[in-house]
A and B are shown apart, each in its own frame.
Chain A
């Protein structure tokens, strides 16, 4: 069953703590994206990667970091520098050989304790 798997579904962060959100896809897609969703605010791009070992900052990259060591994996780390991390985080992937269709995972809700 192909798709994008995000884990965990819920995550809690303590003050000063870094946390990592997992995103795995078995769609063989080259491009992957991380979006942040806040209530009533739409989705905002954090980071994106067009190919393994390469990634670019999006509109709100401050306080976040990513890696792309494998094609199927694009983990997002929310660092202690991100002062307002509470949000719904969405990972997506895209087949660069076809259309602009993004396939989204089911998201991770991050809250601060």
Chain B
């Protein structure tokens, strides 16, 4: 049973456009929702994270929108740049041990 479902699998956006990646979760006990960015041959790096007591969090060009009732959260990348081309993973965890359950990833390509 996949606890965190991520879509789309791949996404192509033009430079300057908005990239949107969506995730849905099943476990209502999850209380931490991060997004990680991974470049080929490297480990993932934390991009931005949110907790369910807020509906939106923005850091630079990256925004998480969180809908607790729908059990969904999304990543918005404004003014997408070719350097943003990478694989993005959403994740969720419960409690203080931060055992993250990851989505399957979205390969983002930003064309110049």
Contact = CB atoms under 8 A, between A and B. Distances in A.
* B interface majority secondary structure: loop
A100 B88 CA distance: 18
A49 to B, nearest CB: 10
A24 to B, nearest CB: 14
Contacts of A94: 98
B47 to A, nearest CB: 10
A45 B9 contact: no
Interface string A40-55: 1111110010100000
Given A42-B102, A92-B43, A101-B49, 15 more contacts: A31-B98, A35-B102, A40-B105, A42-B6, A43-B102, A48-B99, A90-B44, A99-B49, A100-B34, A100-B49, A100-B93, A101-B34, A105-B43, A106-B42, A106-B43
Interface of B: 6, 9, 32, 34, 41-46, 49, 89, 93, 96-105
Interface of A: 4, 31, 33, 35, 40-45, 48, 50, 58, 90, 92, 94, 96, 99-102, 104-107
